[in-house]
């Protein structure tokens, strides 16, 4: 089994979402001894944003790209190849200002490529990253689950589904900035979510 582990926190070793994602990976490895893990830490090594130059490179035929354009497209190609090779994705996702981190948004922008990870058909868009399981380890300072302020889960469910990633399992660690007792409750909830997600 190939696991792609994505950390998007900028907090390094202090990150709750990264620790929770690592817990998911450790549980999966314990169940599947023949497992290879690829870790991409977007907080430590951010992927460049989609800007005018990147868009120009992507829309230039490969044979006509400059060396700079080819190098920029190759950065996105590497991320796409990692996702395509993975059987399982584990995303560590903190909440920043009610949204996903920009580091994770840049990764999504890089892997969402028409004709490669999705395509448009007569019946509408079709995701091409099918047959994979995604575990999303969410870490929040407050309590947002199933509430109007939770923009992360609807967005991630939608955009991942658009790419064909429809088996998405969310693990919530919430209340992490609300005092020691709330932290313990949040981590206990995450443990219960993880047990349910693993089946």
Q: Taking residues 83-90, what's their average pLDDT?
A: 98
- 154-165 per-position pLDDT tens digit: 999 999 999 999
What contacts 87, CB < 8 A, 6 or more positions away?
Answer: 1, 2, 3, 132, 133
- Tell whether the model's pLDDT for residue 33 goes beyond 90: no
Q: Taking residues 142-152, what's their average pLDDT?
A: 96
How far is residue 88's CA from residue 116's CA, in Å, rounded to a whole number? 18
At residue 25 the predicted structure's pLDDT band, cuts being 50, 70 and 90, is very high
Please enumerate, by residue number, every residue annotated as part of a binding site for FMN.
Answer: 9, 15-17, 95-98
**Strand ranges across the sheet with 133-139:** 36-41, 2-7, 88-94, 133-139, 167-173
When divided into structural domains, the chain yields a total of 1
- Residue 101, SS3? coil
Alpha helices in 33-146 (DSSP H): 52-58, 67-85, 102-111
pLDDT of residue 199: 81
Q: Give the mean pLDDT of the chain.
A: 97
Say what the pTM is. 0.96
Range of the domain at 30: 2-198
Please enumerate, by residue number, every residue annotated as part of a binding site.
Answer: 9, 15-17, 95-98
Residue 151 sits in a domain of what CATH number?
A: 3.40.50.360
pLDDT of residue 125: 95
Q: Where are the beta strands (DSSP E) in 15-152?
A: 36-41, 88-94, 118-121, 124-127, 133-139
């Amino acid at each position: 089994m190939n696991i792609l582990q994505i950390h998007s926190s900028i907090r390094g070793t202090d990150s709750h979402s990264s620790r929770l994602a690592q817990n998911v990976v450790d549980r999966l490895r314990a169940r599947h001894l023949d497992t290879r893990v690829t870790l991409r830490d977007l907080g430590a090594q951010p992927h460049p944003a989609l800007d005018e130059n990147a868009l120009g490179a992507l829309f230039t035929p490969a044979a006509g790209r400059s060396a700079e354009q080819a190098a920029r497209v190759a950065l996105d190609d590497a991320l796409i190849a990692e996702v395509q090779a993975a059987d399982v994705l584990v995303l560590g996702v903190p909440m920043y200002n009610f949204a996903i981190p920009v580091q994770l948004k840049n990764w999504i922008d890089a892997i969402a490529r028409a004709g490669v990870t999705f395509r448009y058909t007569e019946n509408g868009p079709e995701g091409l990253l099918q047959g994979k399981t995604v575990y999303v380890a969410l870490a929040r300072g407050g309590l947002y689950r199933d509430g109007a302020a939770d923009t992360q889960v609807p967005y991630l469910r939608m955009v991942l589904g658009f790419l064909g990633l429809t088996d998405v399992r969310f693990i919530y660690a919430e209340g992490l900035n609300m005092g020691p007792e709330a932290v313990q409750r949040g981590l206990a909830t995450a443990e219960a979510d993880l047990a349910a997600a693993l089946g």
